[in-house]
Amino acid sequence: MKHTKLFFVLTLLALIVIACSAEPTPAPKPTTAPVSAPTSAPTAAPATTKPAPTTAPTAAASGDVRVVMKPGISEARFRVREQLAGVNLPSDAIGATKNISGTIIGKPDGTIVQAQSKFRVDMRTLVSDQDRRDQFLRRNVIESDQYPFAEFVPTEAKGFPLPIKDGDIAFQLIGDLTIRNVTKSVTWDVAGKVTGNKGVGTAKTSFNFAYFNITQPRVPLVLSIEDNIKLEVDVTVERE
């Protein structure tokens, strides 16, 4: 039997991943058909057969784990501090969506297969408590009709503890985030909890508008908007 260890990594905007590492099962020894002695000229080559195929292509591939984030369960949010006209105190403008999808392929040592790992958020579905704000952001700020998706490719889980056990977990998830065709490296602070083969957690990161070449909004009803965008992703994952 394979000995399985659970490991948990997030993603996107997404982003905790649960994975497990396994000791490879020894491949069966190749077999060779008996060779008959040559019956004609002494220079004739003996007949041989190819070794029998092994059960797994490589030990590394046999330990890879696939984790899928399905839409409708996890949630991505942005927060921007604003001061509205006629209001005494500043407040956070919050937009959220549950239209998140993606896949992460993890290896037994905790590394991520970047070519097969990506998270995607549908920016057209972000909704706040004000429809006018949402329409303005879609048309003039994030331009979601032209750039409908934000994508995150995880590259490293810094400080991720292995082997993982049930309980609280905290680490940093580093990767490339693309918004409006601009790709930048971002670091998410991840905090979560593992119970059995399931995990829940929240990832947070922040940056200013110029980092992704986004124009800071200016509208008459808003006296000021803080130059700091906070992104949050609540994630629930389960190993497939």
Domain presence at residue 213: yes
Domain presence at residue 31: no
Domain presence at residue 43: no
Average pLDDT over residues 16-23: 33
Name the residue with higher pLDDT: 152 or 47: 152
Average pLDDT over residues 13-35: 38
CB 41 within 8 A of CB 54: no
Domain presence at residue 119: yes
**Which range has the worst mean pLDDT, 16-20, 59-63, 73-77, 79-83?**
16-20
Domain presence at residue 150: yes
Highest mean pLDDT among 64-78, 90-104, 161-175: 90-104
Q: What is the pLDDT of residue 216?
A: 87
Q: What is the pLDDT of residue 135?
A: 92
Q: How many domains does the chain have?
A: 1
Domain presence at residue 192: yes
Q: What is the pLDDT of residue 22?
A: 33
Average pLDDT over residues 127-142: 91
Domain presence at residue 156: yes
**Which range has the worst mean pLDDT, 10-24, 62-76, 205-219, 222-236?**
10-24
Domain presence at residue 117: yes
Side-chain half-sphere of 235: how many Cα atoms within 13 Å? 36
Q: What is the pLDDT of residue 151?
A: 96
- Domain of residue 12 covers 4-23+59-238
**Is the model's pTM score more than 0.75?**
no
Q: What is the pLDDT of residue 224?
A: 87
Choose among 2, 98, 19: nearest CA to 55.
Answer: 2
Highest mean pLDDT among 44-48, 61-65, 173-177: 173-177
CATH number at 116 reads 2.40.128.110
Average pLDDT over residues 32-57: 43
For the cut 90, the answer to whether the pLDDT of residue 170 exceeds it is yes
Q: What is the pLDDT of residue 108?
A: 79
For the cut 70, the answer to whether the pLDDT of residue 138 exceeds it is yes
